[in-house]
Structure 1
């Protein structure tokens, strides 16, 4: 069994790659980290506050026979992002970056304070900028790599009560498209994944009736799962996706064309 396990690892599509996944202690980030590990990639599990949950993600990744570590950082702070990437080199040179860390806000824009606005942008957009910028030299050193940024269908088309969140995710999409044009010649692809309604902790603020309505408004008849998003991200990390860059892929169950 041990020899079979080693053989499987060596033939895995992401064998010997190293992925940094931000916000990987739960939800979509956790699903992505585990999916990349199952595909053979070593994983850096980033977290901000939930260390215990992050360690659970690490163990789940290690079950696939890869190396995984948990690293705490505030990815909206430049010094922390640099420390995150330096910590990653304990395993190797990063070749995949998944910018998943983010927060949501639901409410009228007129009720949003400047402090809340700035926190939303720092967490959703500034963190993506900082991590992308820090990743480029590492990916260049590896002669190429993958940057995958989490956006949202609301970054493609704004939604009432989510103006600030929509603006931050629209910024992620614009950053993705522009950066893809800058670094394509380095063998680096940059894509965005814009999920529809996904059943994660961010849904806890909605009532059962509201959740049912969202489900009914989704043509496939269900809410998305973190695994639905992780499947798309894993594909974008593969060598088979090397001709896809500057794109926004939206797993949304048909909710938006």
Structure 2
């Protein structure tokens, strides 16, 4: 039995990934906030596939809650896959962006993934296997007006993955990232861009890295520009 923990699983890419991995026989631990109809419907869908394993309650913007979630993650002894798909974007020009907004975007997009990866690593290294998959963004590699905090946090996430991958050489553990462009999710609203791909397309790329890709993909990024 393969167990995967997925952040941001209530919506968008995270939800599509939970559905895709569940369809492929993986047991899913959802990581995020419960209580919404989206969370409830996802649980029902996973249970119908016999793919629901559990839930870790956390607001990734609150460091104390992330620390508690990391402790819970450490206790999942059968965990083999950690997909970090949670992300937020709050647009504004550098001159006017609220410092609290900057902090919140870095907490969710970079610092929480760093902490949760640290929590999963000892178990993965002990098993000599495991996959850490990060959902970054094409925006991590190119400047975009009104997205300075988001782009910077995602650039940090991509580089963190690459540094981690160097540390994981010859361990049997792999880190990789998917860098999607304009996806048809709520995060695209207000950007001025048209959707170029679906969340399900991104989820299939994540599933490939999580289940099918060889260790030669350690440190790699799948860039998805769309059509």
Which TM-score applies when normalising by structure 1?
0.81
Per-residue deviation, 1:239? 4.1
Match of 1:103 among 69, 79, 88: 88
C-alpha distance in structure 1 between counterparts of 2:132 and 2:17, whole Å: 13
Q: CA RMSD in A?
A: 1.8
Q: Which residue of 2 aligns with 1:249?
A: 222
Preserved contact between residue 137 and residue 181 of structure 2 (Cα < 8 Å): yes
- Structure 2: tracts of 5 or more residues without a match: none
Match of 2:196 among 223, 227, 235: 223
Match of 2:68 among 72, 80, 96: 80
- Structure 1: tracts of 5 or more residues without a match: 1-15, 216-221
SS of the counterpart of 2:131? strand
Preserved contact between residue 73 and residue 81 of structure 1 (Cα < 8 Å): yes
Preserved contact between residue 75 and residue 130 of structure 1 (Cα < 8 Å): no
Per-residue deviation, 1:117? 1.0
Residues 1:34 and 2:19 aligned together: yes
C-alpha distance in structure 2 between counterparts of 1:102 and 1:240, whole Å: 24
Match of 2:106 among 109, 121, 125: 121
Per-residue deviation, 1:50? 4.8
Q: Which residue of 1 aligns with 2:181?
A: 196
Q: Displaced runs of 4+ in structure 1, greater than 6 A?
A: none
Preserved contact between residue 95 and residue 144 of structure 1 (Cα < 8 Å): yes
C-alpha distance in structure 2 between counterparts of 1:248 and 1:102, whole Å: 17
C-alpha distance in structure 2 between counterparts of 1:24 and 1:104, whole Å: 16
C-alpha distance in structure 2 between counterparts of 1:52 and 1:142, whole Å: 36
Structure whose alpha-carbon radius of gyration is higher: 1
Q: Which residue of 2 aligns with 1:143?
A: 128
Per-residue deviation, 1:235? 0.1
Q: For 1:57-68, list aligned pairs within 5 A.
A: 57-68=42-53
Identify which range, 140-149 or 126-135, moves more after superposition.
140-149
Question: Per residue, is there more strand in 1 or in 2?
Answer: 2
C-alpha distance in structure 1 between counterparts of 2:31 and 2:97, whole Å: 28
Residues 1:154 and 2:112 aligned together: no
Taking structure 1 as reference, are residues 83 and 58 closer, same or farther at Cα in structure 2, changes over 3 Å only? farther
Alignment length, in residue pairs?
A: 224
Which TM-score applies when normalising by structure 2?
0.91
Q: Which residue of 2 aligns with 1:9?
A: none
Residues 1:17 and 2:5 aligned together: no
